[in-house]
Structure 1
């Protein structure tokens, strides 16, 4: 009987010490950034763009405006380009408010750059303060986009597609 009592006393002490330990919060593991696709696979590109957008959401209040143009070998590419340019021009014409983000990406980076340059020509200087613009592409095209968007007052972020 004494042995059982002692075992119960030891068990109670062990439980009380275990209960006193602070629980450590589980550490969230941050996944490694995705690499840019080397093909025109639209699904892979969308996953990559989503990853880049998610990593740059600090200070953003709304879902980002993502302007994704598929590869130039896609069926109906010319029409897709025209419709996306029209949508971008309409969005910019209505005005993009502070706390929003625009993301531009495509395997057809040259055409995306042309689209940004064309659409931002009509944006009044300083009218987009507090808006983030992310361009995913090559450094040379990134500088062209920077030149086109910075007069609007945006916070420009270049992400090299690699």
Structure 2
């Protein structure tokens, strides 16, 4: 009878030991993103959306995205007032910054024309109250050459600065 229990005991031990080894699932790192080589608005907007999605750590409320097309300094056809997309975005962002941004929100900026977007950010934040963006974040997706001047303007308004190089 004892010999008959040996295989049963071995089977139970194997089952017991297999339950002790619990493998944790390994999450694959997200594939690196590559900025579009073209200036196609749809490609850039899709790319920027993915970058924004991956950089929302600490955001507890809303994300406000701002985009400038490559020809943002040319008035749109049919516009009676002659304002460019750059002018309109500059007005929008300046008003948002002047009214302050609530903690937990993020302002995200990106464009195929990194320098032009950096100009817009710096101009919009120039006269901002030092606590206008306290507790909020600003994400700038652009060229490393433009990052430091954007960082200085953003941090002067009290926001956390997040930079992602578009490459």
Q: Give the shorter-chain TM-score range.
A: 0.7 to 0.9
Q: When the two structures are aligned, how many residues end up with a matched partner?
A: 157
1:71 Cα deviation (Å)?
1.0
Structure 1, 71-80 or 100-109: larger mean CA deviation: 71-80
1:160 corresponds to: 165
1:106 aligns with 2:105: no
1:26 Cα deviation (Å)?
6.5
Q: Structure 1, residues 66-110: CA drift from partner, whole Å, max 9, x if none?
A: 111011278739621111111111211221011011111101111
CA distance in 2, matches of 1:42, 1:129: 32
1:141 aligns with 2:140: no
Give the TM-score, by structure 1 length. 0.78
CA distance in 2, matches of 1:79, 1:71: 12
1:68 aligns with 2:73: no
Within 5 Å, give how 1:1-162 maps onto structure 2: 29-72=28-71, 76=76, 79-162=84-167
Contact kept, 8 Å, 1:109 with 1:137, in 2: the verdict is yes
Equivalent position SS for 2:128: coil
Q: Which residues of structure 1 form unaligned runs of 5+?
A: 1-12
